Amino acid sequence: MVVFDKPHALTDAPLHYCPGCTHGIIHRLVAEAIDELGIEGKTIGVAPVGCSVMAYNYFACDMVQAAHGRAPAIATGVKRANPENIVFTYQGDGDLASIGMAETIHAATRGENITIIFVNNAIYGMTGGQMAPTSLPGQVTQTSPYGRDTKTAGFPIKVCELLSELEGAAYLERVAVNNVKNVKNAKKAIKKAFENQVNGKGFSLIEVVSTCPTNWGLTPLKALEWVDEKMIPYYPLGVYKDKTAEEEQK
Amino acid sequence: MTTQILIAGFGGQGVLFAGKLLAYKGMYDGKELSWLPSYGPEMRGGTANCSVIISDTPVGSPIVDKPDVLMVMNLPSLDKYENAVNAGGKIFVDSSFIERKVERSDVDAYYVPATKMAAEAGVPTLANMILLGKLLKETKVLDFEGLEGVFKKIVSAKRADLIDANLKALEIGYNYKD
Amino acid sequence: MAEKVLMKGNEAIAEAAILAGCRHYFGYPITPQTEIAAYMAKRMPKIDGTFLQAESEVAAINMVIGVAAAGGRVMTSSSSPGISLKSEGISYLAGCDLPALVINVQRGGPGLGGIQPSQSDYFQCVKGGGHGDYRNIVFAPASVQEMADMTVRGFELADKYRMVSMILADGTMGQMMEPVSLDIPEQKKYDKPWAVTGTKMERKHNIVNSLSLIPEELEQQNFDRFAKYAQIEENEVLYEEYMMEDAEVCVVAYGIAARVAKNAIVAARAQGVKVGMIRPITLWPFPKKVLNAAADKVKAFVTVEMSMGQMIEDVELATRCKKPVLLCNRAGGMIPTPEQVLAKINEAGGIN
């Protein structure tokens, strides 16, 4: 009896992520959603610049690798070219909320019928641990060595809250993957974000509060605890917008 | 034979359209031609101009900086371009707005109170066509005949009423004796 | 032959693009190319195409990448400062070997510059603009008819060679109207087995990507790309020779500057000066061979440019500096007069 298997939508390529990094879990959840919806053959993924830059090697569907921050614009082009395709982006916090903020907001406000998986671990991982737009106040990083000083470096950006003001966005939810319960919720949310696209509901973004043990300077276990202690209080989990639910109520 | 025409005035006086009409007529008459507008902020209420070249041979530069024919609908344009006109050239002046005379003696000047005439004729926005009618009469750069057919090609059927008004204005100018 | 219509250069580009099968346009407003976007905004919804006004030039070129990756015929247009912003995306298009058409209706620079016509983006568009070793096929139309024809050819060559074609026009070419015949030949369909259209669970996944962390592999990609570029230099050069049979002075000019130069050449010939012109229609590939051959016959060259002198370097290279190359130029949005060009032709003719 098979109790645990690799989703078909993941390739056999070994992941390059650091021990304890939750990218692996999130990749798996995305792949499971694709498998369960039976959409692998028509799905196109867009990989970002950041730790998940090589996501194109891990997902078995067709993939495009985007310039830093531009994944939503590329996804827009791919989707407009072939609207029957299911198009998702997979982006980190620097990619989505810093250099690519304009592309993010405008894809949302256009109600672009795409799915965005936004991995927020409050740091630039690939370049070695610099301050991210989502780094917490006081968080020590390579470029905030005395802790993020909100007087000079400003405040973290709460992406779901920000986008929830836009009429164009259909579904926004923040989830985490630091324990089994949260992973299960995350799975549901990610699947729904893809389902929305299949059903033509429009722009869906799932923010996944994630970890970076390497650059946080914590063990994998401590990093998971840090998510509960520091990240989630600042980035409360939950649904920030759900037009599909609103429609159902009507 | 190549005729270089410069049409200038305030934005809104229809100088670009006057040039376009020449260009369309030239095309339907089988001539070589080009039409080049000024563009940019001057379109918004400042001075506007367009260069039109009508020729029997392929047009080289579309820029008219030494016109054979100058049509001006405001004083700044006369001031700016009078001296650029080639000797032996023709200048058409809307004398409703431009009180002074052309100072050059080596060109032919024609004065038409086009804006006043347009108002009197009940086509107040078509001074450009009145002045253009005179221009066509005196320069013979293109046949006056056949303009109706050109309008029918360039004006949508919904705005057919415009055609009569424009033709009327052109004829007023064509028949005007200064 | 189709009946001629009177169109602005910008409109001719847009209509020709549609007739060539382009169904996706992404842009951002900037003078003096706005007619292209306006035309597309009007036409695309009526033919099931996409017109999208992007949030920035950067986003627009990335939307272009998306459609190109998905196998669609796609274009964007802008003017100089906007092309700077698109340059990142153009480099990615090159790195991903994607076909697309980019229009630059140039204005004076640098910086915000002005809005009057200019040719000062020659280096940017012909030599690169974005980072890395790559080429664009660059067309320099000199009439509204060529604006339309080069648009069609641009799409064709972009698909044929999987790379970016550019139309390098200027404000004058974009704004002027001339009769144009839109007789567009049947477009060849290119198979795009590399496009991301979904695996349909029938093939291995396609990856459109410019990342290559193994230098040996990245070097090989560059070698392969340049082998393709060598073919293009051999096969796709376009130019016009004008009165060159007995010419002692050769004018080299493209676009609107070549139109002005023609007037000067006619005037010079009337004075008995033996002058002709080689007008590059493709700036890359550059008409090196014909220029080099001309260098064995003429006394001197004159480049006429609306910049501080950019193409002149390519003329000197192509002719191995065998003969003097004089520059006749205006900058910042000014256009040389035929008189200015004539004076320079006479100066060149006086060289012994």
Beta carbons of C13 and C103 less than 8 angstroms apart:
yes
Asked if A70's CB is within 8 angstroms of C89's CB, the reply is: yes
Domain endpoint, select from C210, C235, C260: C235
Q: Is A56 on the interface with C (CB under 8 A)?
A: yes
Name the one residue in this structure whose structure tokens are 């939503």.
Answer: A72
Q: Domain limits of chain B?
A: 2-175
Mean pLDDT of B56-84: 96
C281 vs A248 pLDDT, higher one: C281
Asked if A106's CB is within 8 angstroms of C211's CB, the reply is: no
- Residue C256's domain spans which residues? 240-349
Nearest by CB to B27, from C6, C172, C262: name it: C6
Provide the pLDDT for residue B45. 58
Asked if C198's CB is within 8 angstroms of A41's CB, the reply is: yes
Contact residues, A window 164-203, toward C, CB-based 8 Å cutoff: none
Other Cβ atoms less than 10 A from the Cβ of C219: the count is 12
What is the nearest CA distance from C52 to chain A, expressed in angstroms? 10
Cα-trace Rg, chain A: 17
Asked if B34's CB is within 8 angstroms of C115's CB, the reply is: no
Statement to judge: residues C128 and C258 lie in one domain: no
Domains of chain A: 23-249 (3.40.50.970)
Beta carbons of A99 and C56 less than 8 angstroms apart:
no
Beta carbons of B47 and B9 less than 8 angstroms apart:
yes
What is the nearest CA distance from A201 to chain C, expressed in angstroms? 19
- Chains touching chain C through at least 3 C-beta pairs below 8 angstroms are A, B
- Collapsed DSSP state (helix, strand, coil) of residue C71: coil
Asked if C259's CB is within 8 angstroms of B20's CB, the reply is: no
What is the nearest CA distance from A193 to chain C, expressed in angstroms? 19
Statement to judge: residues C195 and C113 lie in one domain: yes
Statement to judge: residues C227 and C270 lie in one domain: no
Compute the distance between CA of residue C94 and CA of residue B16 in angstroms, rounded to an integer.
41
Name the one residue in this structure whose structure tokens are 């917490």.
Answer: A136
Provide the pLDDT for residue A4. 83
- Collapsed DSSP state (helix, strand, coil) of residue C32: coil
Asked if C176's CB is within 8 angstroms of B35's CB, the reply is: yes
Q: Over the stretch C214-245, which tens digit does the pLDDT of each residue have?
A: 999 999 999 999 999 999 999 999 999 999 99
Statement to judge: residues C194 and C259 lie in one domain: no
Q: Is C70 on the interface with A (CB under 8 A)?
A: yes
What is the nearest CA distance from B39 to chain C, expressed in angstroms? 8
Mean pLDDT of C327-342: 97
Residue C324 lies in a domain: yes
Pick the CATH number of B2-175 from 3.30.70.1520, 3.40.50.2000, 3.20.20.140, 3.40.920.10: 3.40.920.10
Q: Over the stretch A81-131, which tens digit does the pLDDT of each residue have?
A: 999 999 999 999 999 999 999 999 999 999 999 999 999 999 999 999 999
Of B114-128, B148-162, C48-62, give the lowest mean pLDDT range: B148-162
Statement to judge: residues C228 and C343 lie in one domain: no
Asked if C24's CB is within 8 angstroms of A63's CB, the reply is: no
Statement to judge: residues C192 and C71 lie in one domain: yes
Long-range contacts of the stretch B32-36 (C-beta < 8 A, 24+): B32/B56, B32/B57, B32/B58, B32/B59, B33/B59, B33/C178, B33/C179, B34/B59, B34/B62, B34/C176, B34/C177, B34/C178, B35/B62, B35/C6, B35/C176, B35/C177, B35/C178, B36/B62, B36/B63, B36/B64, B36/C172, B36/C175, B36/C176, B36/C177
Phi, psi of A59 (to 5 degrees): -90, 140
Statement to judge: residues C115 and C154 lie in one domain: yes
Statement to judge: residues C270 and C316 lie in one domain: yes
Asked if B60's CB is within 8 angstroms of C6's CB, the reply is: no
Would you say how long chain B is, in residues?
Answer: 178
What is the nearest CA distance from B35 to chain C, expressed in angstroms? 5
The residue of C22, C24, C26, C55 whose CB has the most chain A CBs within 10 angstroms, and thus the best one to mutate to test that interface, is C55
* Residue B117 confidence class, pLDDT cut points 50, 70, 90: very high
Contact between chain A and chain B (3 or more Cβ pairs less than 8 Å apart) = no
Name the one residue in this structure whose structure tokens are 């390529």.
Answer: A13
Provide the pLDDT for residue B39. 80
What is the nearest CA distance from B67 to chain C, expressed in angstroms? 13
Asked if B23's CB is within 8 angstroms of C6's CB, the reply is: yes
Other Cβ atoms less than 10 A from the Cβ of C190: the count is 14
Beta carbons of B5 and B38 less than 8 angstroms apart:
no
Q: Identify which of C283, C276, C265 has the alpha carbon closest to the alpha carbon of residue C299.
A: C276
pLDDT greater than 70 at residue B15: yes
Nearest-5° angle of CA A16, CA A19, CA A22? 85
What's CA C108's distance to the chain center, in Å? 17
Domain holding C257: CATH number? Answer: 3.40.50.920
Statement to judge: residues C126 and C177 lie in one domain: yes
Nearest by CB to C262, from B23, B35, B60: name it: B60
Name residues whose C-beta falls within 8 Å of residue A197's C-beta, 6 or more positions apart in sequence. Answer: A86, A87, A88, A113, A114, A115, A204
Provide the pLDDT for residue C323. 97
Q: What is the DSSP code (8-state) at residue C196? A: -
Provide the pLDDT for residue B44. 53
What are B's interface residues with C at a Cβ cutoff of 8 A?
Answer: 20, 23-24, 27, 33-37, 39-40, 59-63, 65
B45 vs C327 pLDDT, higher one: C327
Longest dimension (CA), chain C: 73
Q: Is C38 on the interface with A (CB under 8 A)?
A: no
- What is the sign, positive or negative, of the torsion defined by CA atoms of C251, C257, C259, C261? negative
pLDDT greater than 90 at residue C187: no
Statement to judge: residues C129 and C270 lie in one domain: no
Statement to judge: residues C46 and C139 lie in one domain: yes
State the total domains in chain C: 2
Residue C322 lies in a domain: yes
* Residue C3 confidence class, pLDDT cut points 50, 70, 90: confident
Asked if A76's CB is within 8 angstroms of C64's CB, the reply is: no
Contact residues on chain A for C208, CB-CB shorter than 8 A: 63-65
Mean pLDDT of C169-193: 94
Longest dimension (CA), chain B: 46
Angle between helices C288-295 and C311-318 (to 10 degrees): 60
* Residue A30 confidence class, pLDDT cut points 50, 70, 90: very high
Provide the pLDDT for residue B47. 81
Rounded (10°) CA dihedral C247, C250, C255, C257: -100
Q: Is C32 on the interface with B (CB under 8 A)?
A: yes
Statement to judge: residues C87 and C13 lie in one domain: yes
pLDDT greater than 60 at residue C201: yes
- Collapsed DSSP state (helix, strand, coil) of residue C253: strand
- Collapsed DSSP state (helix, strand, coil) of residue C111: coil
Provide the pLDDT for residue C126. 97
Q: Over the stretch C141-166, which tens digit does the pLDDT of each residue have?
A: 999 999 999 999 999 999 999 999 99
Beta carbons of A16 and A24 less than 8 angstroms apart:
no
Contact residues on chain B for C335, CB-CB shorter than 8 A: 63
- Kindly report the three-state secondary structure assignment for every residue of chain B: CEEEEEEEEECCCCHHHHHHHHHHHHHHCCCEEEEEECCCHHHCCCEEEEEEEEECCCCCCCCCCCCCEEEECCHHHHHHHHHHCCCCCEEEEECCCCCCCCCCCCCEEEEECHHHHHHHCCCCCCHHHHHHHHHHHHHCCCCCCCHHHHHHHHCCHHHHHHHHHHHHHHHHHHHCCC
pLDDT greater than 80 at residue B41: no
Domain holding C160: CATH number? Answer: 3.40.50.970
Q: In one letter, which amino acid is C208?
A: V
Asked if C65's CB is within 8 angstroms of A64's CB, the reply is: yes
pLDDT greater than 70 at residue B43: no
Asked if C256's CB is within 8 angstroms of B34's CB, the reply is: no
Nearest by CB to A62, from C24, C52, C206: name it: C206
Q: Identify which of A204, A185, A39, A16 has the alpha carbon closest to the alpha carbon of residue A114.
A: A204
Beta carbons of C311 and C324 less than 8 angstroms apart:
no
Nearest by CB to C172, from B40, B62, B65: name it: B62
Name residues whose C-beta falls within 8 Å of residue A57's C-beta, 6 or more positions apart in sequence. Answer: A11, A13, C207
Provide the pLDDT for residue C1. 56
Contact residues on chain C for A81, CB-CB shorter than 8 A: 24, 50, 66-67, 70-72, 74
Average of per-residue pLDDT values in chain C: 97
Compute the distance between CA of residue C255 and CA of residue A167 in angstroms, rounded to an integer.
46
